[in-house]
Amino acid sequence: MFSVFVLPAILLTKIFWAAWNLVARWPALKIIVVLGHTKCGAVRGACDYVEMGNLTALLTKIRPPVDDESTVNENRNSGNDEFVEKVLTINVKRTVRAIMERSTILKEMIEAGEIGIAGATHDITTGAVTFYEDTLIIKS
Ligand SMILES: [Zn+2]
């Protein structure tokens, strides 16, 4: 049996981290895929520094990727598809790193080759899922 645990790239709350201990014990788990997606309202909102009530805390978590993006000099907002895509990529990669840094259990399992981890983006227009090779850790 091959089981894939897919999670949105943006859900980094405390409750979410606590749930990792349960995720790690799911026997069928083989790979964690941090999956971002194009045309993401949350990423776009963060690019525009939008504040939206309860969503503000969530959007604040995507702010570091927005600030990390340093190659786009003009139109650093959601109207610029190139900028949004670059922020999305940074967010996915940061999330993969954060999982490794913040969950000792998962890090150990990944390093022991018990499970794999990968970051990817789902293009919701074409349906294509592109994996970032530099985030891929799959040992066998
Ligand atoms: Zn989204």
Which among 120, 64, 128, 130 is positioned nearest to 96, based on CA atoms? 120
Q: Residue 16: its pLDDT value, please?
A: 58
How far is ligand 1, taken at its centre, from the CA of residue 94, in Å? 16
pLDDT of amino acid 68: 93
Global pTM value: 0.82
User: Which one-letter amino acid corresponds to residue 43?
Assistant: V
- CATH number of the domain where residue 45 is located: 3.40.1050.10
Domain membership flag for residue 13: no
Domain contains 7 = no
| Inside any domain, residue 113 | yes
Q: 52 is written with which tokens?
A: 């939206």
pLDDT of 89? 94
Q: Ligand 1 centre from 112 Cα, in Å?
A: 31
In a domain, 83, yes or no: yes
Quote the ligand 1 centre to 43 CA distance (angstroms): 7
Q: Provide the domain count of the chain.
A: 1
Pairing of strands 116-122, 29-37: parallel
Domain range holding 126? 20-137
Q: How many CA atoms lie within 13 A of 3 on its CB side?
A: 12
Q: Looking at the domain assignment, is residue 115 inside a domain?
A: yes
In a domain, 49, yes or no: yes
CA of 15 to the centre of ligand 1 (A): 19
Q: Is residue 44 part of a domain?
A: yes
CA 111 – ligand 1 centroid, Å: 29
Q: Which protein residues have their CB within 5 A of the ion that is ligand 1?
A: 40, 42
Look at residue 9 and tell me if it is in a domain. Answer: no
Q: Left (φ > 0), alpha (ψ -120 to 50) or beta: where does 86 sit? A: alpha
Mean pLDDT by 10 residues, the chain (140 residues): 55 56 73 88 89 77 90 96 94 89 87 90 91 86
